[in-house]
Amino acid sequence: MHEMSIAMSIVESVVAHAQKEGALRISGVELLVGKLAGIEAESLKFCFSAAAAGTLAAKALLVVEEPEGVGECGECGMRFQVTFYYAECPKCRSLRITIVSGEEFLIQSITIEEEGEQENV
Amino acid sequence: MCDTCGCSADGGAVLRKPGESDYLMYVSDGNHGYTHHHAGEEHHSSANVQGEHHDHAHDYHHHESITRKIVLEQDVLQKNNLLAERNRGYFEARHIFALNFLSSPGSGKTTLLEIIIPLLQQRIPVAVIEGDQQTTNDADRIHALGVPVIQINTGSGCHLDALMVNRAVKELEVQDNSLLCIENVGNLVCPALFDLGEALKVVIISVTEGDDKPLKYPTMFHEADLCILNKIDLLPYVEFDVAKCRENAMRVNHHLEWFEVSAKSGEGLAILLEWLEHRLSHH
């Protein structure tokens, strides 16, 4: 359910950036949503199109990159892929795991359309 | 409230005070066009842009529309996180120890507050922010204890955010050197993502829920600093494995402080209060 308010804040933010750049419209938005970020990417995409309606981002293509979670073992230091917070070290079986990536939640970039130089035909 | 159109911003969240039926404050950061958009205005600007573009498409002197990529690398929750840090700085400067209480609906957050506040109040002033979608029921219960309290009604919102707390604190007049208890909306999912500026997150579960709750809602337990298992007086009547639940919670977050209490019978509260008082004195 929080995906809707988050989608609205993303639209707000990218529209503000696009307006500052003098864009005609936003054609693309790239997000980085780690698999451990607590965000359902599919739900976010659905909400984004609703939140973007009637704004400069109305026709923007939303691309979501979902980096895998990576944990680091507090005992032996091994780094390995994790899908959840309660990971176990595959090497030493320790549960003292710290998440080192996969919690990212960023607006990576926006692609804007703007008026080009006037060309003489 | 928005001065232009009268709409309520921030998802329609409002502040209410028990015993003051006339009091109603809209949560809004007052910065127009940033917190919320007026559908009409957006529509106009969008229509203009599309209109212009349409004209150009039929113009023989081509104004080619070119695309450009702008790298932002901006945290999506940046606005909330920045405001949460402002709240945190305000709390630290005034020695306000803020606790964010999180749980499913019905696990006993308000009952626990009703029991521990009179005990804590003997050594430190306490103020409370209550979060619920609707009603001032919880704030009314806290108000009966005689402590300052304000209710945030989030309307359609499923969590408190830093802006709501920022506004609520201004209305509440929290004393210096005090304890601020923020009771979040009953929800084990969304509130985990929104920093309010608290010193500690306290997650509460009760024995009438499943002992696998930490595994089902790992984000919340991963974010929490302490976990309070409530309603242990009901253990003889329910199938709940305390050791298993604790193990599950520790697997998700091995830094979690663990407490077992009954807000009803008072069992285990002395240990919890001792821990809280220790943290308060070192704050």
Interface predicted TM-score of the whole assembly (ipTM), two decimals: 0.80
Question: Do B72 and A108 make contact, defined as CB atoms within 8 angstroms?
Answer: yes
Of B64, B251, B252, the CB nearest to A119: B64
Closest chain A residue to the Cα of B69, Cα to Cα = A111
SS3 assignment, position B162: helix
Neighbours of B47 (CB within 10 A): 11
Cα–Cα distance between A99 and B97 in angstroms, integer? 28
| Helix, strand, coil % over all residues of chain A, rounded to 5 | 25, 35, 40
Torsion angle defined by CA atoms of residues B111, B113, B114 and B117, in that order, rounded to the nearest 10 degrees: 160
Which among B35, B70, B214 has CB closest to A17? B70
Cβ within 8 Å of residue B134, ≥6 positions away? B153, B155
Residue B87, in any domain of the structure: yes
- Residue in B71, B159, B253 closest to A2 by CB: B159
Look at chain B and report how many structural domains it folds into. 1
pLDDT in tens, B77-134: 888 999 999 999 999 999 999 999 999 999 999 999 999 999 999 999 999 999 999 9
Is the residue at B18 inside a domain?
no
Q: What are the C-alpha distances in Å from B245 to residues B101, B115, B216, B224?
A: 19, 24, 11, 15
* B227-246 confidence digits (pLDDT tens): 999 999 999 999 999 999 99
The first and second tokens of residue A74, run together, are 């507090």
Q: How many beta-carbon pairs below 8 A join chains A and B?
A: 135
Average pLDDT over residues A20-45: 92
CATH code, domain with B202: 3.40.50.300
Assess whether pLDDT exceeds 50 at residue A35: yes
Give dist(CA A67, CA A4) in Å, integer.
22
**Residue pair B154/B11 in contact by the 8 Å Cβ criterion:** yes
Q: Which domain holds residue B193?
A: 78-281
Whether residue B180 contacts residue B91, with contact meaning beta carbons closer than 8 Å, is answered with yes
Q: Which residues of B touch A99 (CB under 8 A)?
A: 222
- Residues in B closer than 8 angstroms to A10, CB to CB, are 76
Burial class (CB in 10 A: 0-12, 13-18, 19+), B282: exposed
Chain B hits for A111, CB-CB cut-off 8 Å, are: 67-70
Beta bridge partners of B26: B14
Nearest CB to A109: which of B71, B76, B78?
B71
Q: What is the mean pLDDT of chain B?
A: 85
Residue B13 falls within a domain, yes or no?
no
- Predicted confidence at residue B39, as pLDDT, reads 41
Asked whether residue B178 is domain-assigned, the answer is yes
The CATH number that domain A2-68+102-113 falls under is 3.30.2320.50
Res. B11 pLDDT band, cuts 50 70 90: low
Q: Collect all residues of chain B within an 8 Å Cβ-Cβ radius of residue A89.
A: none
- Encoded tokens for B93: 């400067």
Q: Which residue has the higher pLDDT, B202 or A84?
A: B202
Tens digit of pLDDT for each residue in B155-173? 878 899 999 999 999 999 8
pLDDT for residue B29 is more than 60? no
| pLDDT tier, B33 (very low <50, low <70, confident <90, very high otherwise) | very low
* pLDDT attached to residue A20: 94
Residue B32 belongs to a domain: no
Question: Is B225 part of any domain?
Answer: yes
**Would you say residue B65 lies in a domain?**
no
